[in-house]
């Protein structure tokens, strides 16, 4: 279902980002003995992968969604989102650097 306002869409992006960042931080803070516990570590990796996919996919959709008629979008909003994309590239590169 399409979001009704840009604010709704931004709130959803922020929520997905927050869940992803928490999972990412969880992985980065693991101790060596926790990594050795394979099933628990695999569950954390699976959770991180899912949350990353949820966030990256939603974030990827925003420019095309903002061009749809049901959003009151303008060039300024699109420029801001392009800047947000540049800022998120480092996060994406760091995430994939884990693998």
pLDDT tier, 70 (very low <50, low <70, confident <90, very high otherwise): low
Strands (E) in 4-85, as ranges, are none
Q: Please give the Cα distance from 90 to 77 (Å, whole number).
A: 21
Residue 54 has pLDDT above 90, yes or no: yes
pLDDT at position 4 is: 66
SS3 state at 37 = coil
pLDDT in tens, 2-14: 556 778 888 998 9
Q: How far is CA 16 from CA 10, 42, 48, 49, 69, in A?
A: 10, 21, 12, 12, 24
Q: Are 13 and 81 in contact, with CB atoms under 8 Å apart?
A: no
Q: Tell me the C-alpha distance between 55 and 44, whole Å.
A: 16
């Amino acid at each position: 279902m399409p979001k009704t306002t840009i604010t709704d869409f931004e709130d959803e992006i922020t929520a997905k980002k927050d869940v992803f960042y928490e999972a990412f931080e969880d992985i980065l803070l693991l101790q060596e003995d926790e990594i050795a516990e394979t099933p628990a570590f695999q569950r954390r990796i699976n959770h991180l992968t899912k949350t990353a996919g949820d966030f990256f996919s939603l974030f990827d959709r925003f420019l095309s969604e903002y061009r749809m008629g049901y959003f009151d979008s303008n060039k300024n909003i699109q420029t801001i989102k392009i800047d947000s994309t540049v800022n998120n590239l480092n996060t994406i590169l760091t995430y994939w650097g884990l693998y």
